[in-house]
Amino acid sequence: MSSSRSGRSSHGHKTERGAQRSVRRMIESLQSHSVNTLTELVRIERIAASCDDESDAIAFQGPMTEAWTFYVGSNQFLTELRGLTRNYPFCGDILTDAQMRVRNDPESNRSWNMAWLCLQKIVSENLVSTYATLEALRPEMWGGRDPSTEEADQLARCFEFEWNNAVNTMLRHWSATPTWY
């Protein structure tokens, strides 16, 4: 009976240690930036959000915030958006503007997730439409000539369609908003 009890205790202790090792490995992968794709960061974010152990949840906070900030700042975010917009590559100026707006917004402290905050800012402040129009009017898009109003409008609509689809595709990764409150 004693050996049976100690076996269960040992197994429970091993499971707990395994979970702690797993949490440590995930945190290390966030800190080393070996995980730097939207899918992988969201996967770890979900695990962190479902932690039963409060100390594990707290341990994830800083590294998770830093990993999302690195993901956006390292251009991986832009690269993944451009992977979704092959016909009309996503405009990097949209992300630069969104990041600036997030950093200047006192409400942005409601989330640890810079990518999600930027996507929300792109949608709420209609940045796709603004930048689609600006890009479509650039003479560089037209071989150095000024486009007609109709040409610029048509190209802007193409940009908007593809860029909005990319933003919405990325936003679908979150079934719940990644916010503190």
pLDDT at 88: 98
d(CA 136, CA 50): 44
- pTM for this predicted structure: 0.86
The full DSSP string for 105-170 is: -GGGGG-S-HHHHHHHHHHHTTHHHHHHHHHHH-GGGGTTSPPPHHHHHHHHHHHHHHHHHHHHHH
pLDDT at 4: 44
Read off the pLDDT of residues 125-169 as tens digits, 9 standing for 90 and up: 999 999 999 999 999 999 999 999 999 999 999 999 999 999 999
Q: Which residues of 60-78 are buried (b: 16+ CB within 10 A; e: fewer)?
A: beebbeebbebbbeeebbb
What values do phi and psi take at 154, rounded to 5? -65, -45
pLDDT at 19: 60
Q: Please check whether residue 172 is in contact with residue 153, taking contact to mean a CB–CB distance below 8 angstroms.
A: no
Kindly state the average pLDDT of the residues 26-30: 93
